[in-house]
Structure 1
Amino acid sequence: MNTFDIGFKEIESYLRSSGWQRSLTGPFAEVWRAIGNDQLTLFVPKDSSAPDFSRALRSLTDELARRENRPQEQISLDISRQFLDVTDLRAEDDEISEGTIPLASGIGLFNSAHRMMVSAAAATLHRQGYYGNSMPRAAHKHARRMRLGQTRPGSYIVPVISSARFGVLVDDSFDEPRLEAAADESYFERRMLTTLSRALHTLSQMAVVRDRTPTKFDVLSAVDEGVSSELCAAVLDVIGKGGVDLFDITFNWAPSSPAPRDISAKVAFTNESADLIQHIETELKETDAPAERVLYGVIRRLSLKKNETSGHVALETVLDGKPRVVAFELPLDVYRRAARYHGERRPVVVRGILDAPPGRRATMTVNSFDADRSVATFDDLG
């Protein structure tokens, strides 16, 4: 895996999570001590523009490698990845030489990376079986933020890199939690990868694990999880044109933040599944199910009157880059979950048919409601 740029913030994040604490600080360097052992110290450079920063960084990673009994290259990699999510797209074939791949397969892998990220961004905004000419412009905008790392052997891997530097999503200084619009935007790429992982897992279950032709109901249900005709086409770019036996996608989440909950870290497809995925792609193109909007936000208000069979919820979300409140109703069992999430000040995600005319009250007919598991906190892991 590639080593990316390292600055003081990356070093600081790594040391905090590795059992070190700051002891002395200055404008150009700091001294850190091991928690529970004041005799173990590290000299930490701060100014990455200083002429001796690279030499001081090498000395630091060498010392950490010695103390952790790990290769220095692995230490450097772990430090550099503190604020990066890296998604590895890997193609494998028995006839592929180490570090090389047939030209057509390589082109397909790079095309797949782009189409996969666009489809994931689209599904993070709207759930739709087939986007075609209605692909949201914002999906292309968000996909353009992703970066490609250098390819590497094993058998042939293309890393897609995205930022995992997040702002404070919920402002707790008010009586009711307030959503920070700028911070919400900073989470989009993480949400996008969470959507991608769930969608790929669902597609793999239909085309690889079950190994049978899915029903129309199976295909329509898969749309709820983010599967689209465009996602199928992205997978077929690799396994549907020959030359590749195995295509897998691995999600390496940034160490500085908790990994999204309840998702697959790795999803694989074989060339034997290409025909089923082609069938699913065709079915999705022909579906006429209405597109559903996906909203992320925090609950501002709840109300439930006596003898009512549903509760009223007001969600603060971001629409067209601006905070907006959307009202909807939930059945009692789901409303109770909403009340719990509200008490925990936990971000949520809702999916359904949105009616948001300019200057008027925005409402939604909700088909799915849950906690936003792509922004899990460290408290969730305890």
Structure 2
Amino acid sequence: MNMVDIGLEEVESYLRRSGWRRSLSGPFAAIWHPAQDEESSVFVPKAPDSPDFSTALKILTREVARLENRPEAEVTLEISRQFVDVTDLRAEDADIADGTIPLMAGIGLFNSAHRMMVSAAAATLHRQSYYGNSMPRAAHRHARRMRLGQTRPGSYIVPVISSARFGALVSEEFGEPRLEATADESYFERRMLTTLSRALGTLSEITVVRGRTPSKLDVLSAVDEGVSSELCAAVLDVIGKGGVEVFDVTFNWAPSSPPPRDLPEKIEFPGAAAELIERIEGELKETDAPAERVLYGVIRRLSLKRNETTGHVSLETIIDGKPRIVSFELPLDVYRRAARYHGERRPVIVRGILDATPGRRATMQVTAFDADRSVASFDDMSE
């Protein structure tokens, strides 16, 4: 049960990350062997256009599974997901443990997958409590790029697949970090899932973990982390239908790239949380808070004058598909972090009120600034 079609890149990535070593290589094939077993080896075909390429890959997978003493299906699945992030949405029936769920809950699970990805894409661009008719078109466009895998047992799992093939996001020009605009787009799906993980974790924290009714301030603060009325509705698509004991979301990051930092891998919502989440959904729909833009990029310039209480930062980012420099002020403690990230060539994330009027210098009133933990640092990517 593959996530995607397996090719040479997936095979070589898996073998390399599993400790195998290439001993011989020619134009049409290579020989790899386990690091601690020089006597054993596998034949890796390198000519995808040859008529027996797919057959040779199946033989290879079978032999790798035998040498690793693992089930062939498990090894095949791992190879196939080398360059994809897989988000598993799982619903567990309250009464039946045979891998089935009620029909309405199943329909809700698929609806939830779509609404959840759209809300995550929207929150990756703009933080709002309720989008309604102002849902960014780009959110739907990005969500359409996601793929659904085959459902799996355990009770009922729907995998959502997204690409994790990244180019170098940051390069150097005359000793200064530069944002690679063409690579920035390839990172959106990873950033989107990072937003989703953080938002779901926050929603679980205020509705399940704390064991108390969240205050209005708690709900408003959750918006900063990507929680929206639409995200609540996506969770309610599953647990609000009845008959579902637990709904959980698990993030399986592609082995070929460093995973986002400091994020929960699995978030659970028991059916009993539905009433509270429904109440928060309504509160967020009625909240009158300004929408904040989210920008990702690299710091180009910094300046700090003597006796000033803020430092000036120029960020290179992408706005409406085009490179743009955005200027903003940061308090000294945050400015020092910005200076460190600049020295590390580390991508950053900035949130606030953006003024990007065409023909004028773009500026932002910043409410949040941090390293972009959804992507690797410049040093990580240059290894």
The residue number in structure 2 matching 1:358 is 358
Q: Equivalent residue of 1:122, what SS?
A: helix
CA distance in 1 between partners of 2:130 and 2:47 (Å):
49
1:224-262: CA deviation from partner (whole Å, max 9, x where unpaired):
000000000000000012121110000011010111000
Query: Displacement, 1:379?
Result: 6.3
The residue number in structure 2 matching 1:203 is 203
1:85, 1:252 within 8 Å by CA — same for their partners in 2?
yes
Aligned length: 382
The residue number in structure 2 matching 1:103 is 103
1:335-346 matches, cutoff 5 A: 335-346=335-346
CA distance in 2 between partners of 1:311 and 1:363 (Å):
14
Does the alignment pair 1:6 with 2:13? no
Taking structure 2 as the reference length, what is the TM-score of the superposition? 0.96
The residue number in structure 2 matching 1:231 is 231
CA distance in 1 between partners of 2:37 and 2:359 (Å):
61
1:293-332 matches, cutoff 5 A: 293-332=293-332
CA distance in 1 between partners of 2:378 and 2:29 (Å):
29
CA distance in 1 between partners of 2:173 and 2:365 (Å):
30
CA-atom RMSD in angstroms: 1.8
Query: Displacement, 1:42?
Result: 2.5
Name the amino acid aligned to 2:193. Answer: L
Name the amino acid aligned to 2:144. Answer: R
Does the alignment pair 1:81 with 2:74? no
1:199, 1:225 within 8 Å by CA — same for their partners in 2?
yes
Q: Equivalent residue of 2:263, what SS?
A: coil
Q: Equivalent residue of 1:373, what SS?
A: coil
Query: Displacement, 1:103?
Result: 1.3
CA distance in 1 between partners of 2:194 and 2:226 (Å):
10
CA distance in 2 between partners of 1:87 and 1:378 (Å):
26
Instruction: Give 5+ residue unaligned stretches, structure 1.
Output: none
The residue number in structure 2 matching 1:65 is 65
Name the amino acid aligned to 1:189. Answer: E
Query: Displacement, 1:19?
Result: 1.9
Taking structure 1 as the reference length, what is the TM-score of the superposition? 0.96
Q: Equivalent residue of 2:192, what SS?
A: helix
Query: Displacement, 1:102?
Result: 1.5
1:181, 1:318 within 8 Å by CA — same for their partners in 2?
yes
Name the amino acid aligned to 1:191. Answer: R
Q: Equivalent residue of 1:245, what SS?
A: strand
CA distance in 2 between partners of 1:46 and 1:380 (Å):
28
1:93-132 matches, cutoff 5 A: 93-132=93-132
1:118, 1:143 within 8 Å by CA — same for their partners in 2?
yes
1:170, 1:180 within 8 Å by CA — same for their partners in 2?
yes
CA distance in 1 between partners of 2:344 and 2:78 (Å):
32
CA distance in 2 between partners of 1:32 and 1:362 (Å):
53
Q: Equivalent residue of 2:255, what SS?
A: coil
Q: Equivalent residue of 1:263, what SS?
A: coil
Query: Displacement, 1:63?
Result: 2.4
CA distance in 2 between partners of 1:325 and 1:347 (Å):
14
Query: Displacement, 1:3?
Result: 4.3
Instruction: Give 5+ residue unaligned stretches, structure 2.
Output: none
Query: Displacement, 1:174?
Result: 3.2
CA distance in 1 between partners of 2:173 and 2:328 (Å):
25
Q: Equivalent residue of 2:357, what SS?
A: coil
1:243-262 matches, cutoff 5 A: 243-262=243-262
2:167, 2:186 within 8 Å by CA — same for their partners in 1?
yes
Q: Equivalent residue of 1:351, what SS?
A: strand
2:169, 2:179 within 8 Å by CA — same for their partners in 1?
yes
2:310, 2:332 within 8 Å by CA — same for their partners in 1?
yes
- Identical pairs, percent: 76
Does the alignment pair 1:283 with 2:283? yes
1:84, 1:164 within 8 Å by CA — same for their partners in 2?
yes
Query: Displacement, 1:27?
Result: 2.9
1:309, 1:332 within 8 Å by CA — same for their partners in 2?
yes
CA distance in 2 between partners of 1:304 and 1:58 (Å):
60
2:345, 2:377 within 8 Å by CA — same for their partners in 1?
no
1:3, 1:76 within 8 Å by CA — same for their partners in 2?
no
Alpha carbons of structure 1 residues 269 and 187: separation in structure 2 relative to 1, 3 Å: same
1:7, 1:46 within 8 Å by CA — same for their partners in 2?
no
Q: Equivalent residue of 1:191, what SS?
A: helix
1:100-149: CA deviation from partner (whole Å, max 9, x where unpaired):
22111111111100000000000000000000000000000000000001
The residue number in structure 2 matching 1:367 is 367
